[in-house]
Amino acid sequence: MTRTAVVNDYQHPQPGASSTLTLDERVSQEILKNGITRPKGYTVSYHSNPGVEKMHFGPKHPMKPWRLTLTNKIVLAYGMHEAMDVYVPRAATFLEMTEYHKEDYVQFLSWVTPKIKLDMETSNVIPYNMGDDCPVFDGLYDYCSLYSGASLDAARKLTNNQSDIAINWSGGLHHAKKAEASGFCYINDIVLAILQLLLYHPRVLYIDLDVHHGDGVEQAFWSTDRVMTLSLHKFDKATFFPGTGGSDDTGPKNSANPGAHHSLNVPLHDGIDDESYFQLFKDVVGPCISTYQPTAIVIQCGGDSLGGDRLGCFNINIRAHGACVDYTKKLGLPLLVLGGGGYTPRNVARLWAHETSVCLGTDLHPSLPAHTPFIEHFAPDKSLYPELSQTGRYDNKNSGKYLRDIVTSIREQLRYVQGSPSVQLQYLPPDLGAVRDEVEREIQEEREAKDLGRRRKERGAGTRGEYAH
């Protein structure tokens, strides 16, 4: 009788890879090859909860949380995790999310399901702007609490001086409003994180690189001088979401309102390129820093401003986008780095991996490591820096004069900002740290109770002589 194999040969789940030990060796080689070391003089922390990556908006929805999986795989393949403090943060609590959002709205997110929403559609009652852009999917509340918890954790690492640059690529959902969802965003983690920073920092500068206007953050801090918002985005009031963020949107019209002239917008047309974008960024951010004198910065790194994005319309490459982050980093202020939009997952992953290296001060080899999981998604070039500006290229409709006029307008607005504002009479938000301490105390008590129960069971597992009779 012919002998047949009973057990097939083991096939590694990642084609081209071999054992775990060999993978570790390959990562070590990448670390040496790219000169990846822990930064000198400052600490970078990386906040990532794998639970966010599993969420699914629906097969036809452009938002793909799986882009976070691709990002993390590239970061790990290069070995950048060895140069950072890596945290798996807990989920934000109901109380933490209602520090900004309305309780009834957060409560709705906690119990709504796709079936319940279907019943609402039948009765023509769909509250809180839930719909095609902001669908109800299984795990919605967990999704919101996980990405928000990561941003809060990152902000706390900054305020506790445990980190100088804190990264959360799952955050940056800048459209969410106080009592409704908007533009694929449900909970505004940026606002929650800035509220946390304001407990320790008198002034925070928020910079938004997403192709869409950061309307939710601007609206949240519309009437305060303790946060200055600066958004660079495509603007077309009639045809491009959200239709806000014109050059004349500078805060409350009443000059007596503290927030007047503290909402700055850079409205752009289609097709801006690398050189124009980075020069414009420096020309507007520099004066904001010198005039407003922030003590911390939050930057939203939406990847939909890249060339070739599914919903974008710019001609920007990865290195130019990252140059803006590098410029901000070199200002030397506590920096919270967040994700945001981006609807071509492979390019978003490339961007955020590159900007992670920017935060570390490392230049990466352009060829993705051969052991990178899902590397076929980056075919045919398998490069970290493909030429995106030629992918579905838009004509650059931003003339030199138009860009110079924008810079002039921003500087004119800054003339009304009378130096760095005092915070002595300003309202301080409640300390989210107290909420955190209470939650962590409850978690510790639950753990201790479980340990006590386990020890009791172990002590009762067997008694001497119980089987003697």
- What residues act catalytically? 213
Strand pairing of 335-338 and 44-47? unpaired
Name the strands in the sheet holding 227-234, side by side, starting at the edge strand that comes first in the sequence: 85-87, 44-47, 165-168, 335-338, 296-300, 204-208, 227-234, 263-268
Contact (Cβ atoms closer than 8 angstroms) between residue 211 and residue 313: yes
Return d(Cα 196, Cα 327) in angstroms, integer. 24
Question: What letter represents residue 31's amino acid?
Answer: I
Return d(Cα 215, Cα 170) in angstroms, integer. 19
Counting beta carbons within 10 angstroms of the beta carbon of residue 106, is it exposed (0 to 12), middle (13 to 18) or buried (19 or more)? buried
Return d(Cα 426, Cα 338) in angstroms, integer. 27
Return d(Cα 301, Cα 172) in angstroms, integer. 8
Taking residue 393's Cβ as centre, other Cβ atoms within 10 Å add up to 13
Q: What are phi and psi of 367, to 5 degrees?
A: -80, 125
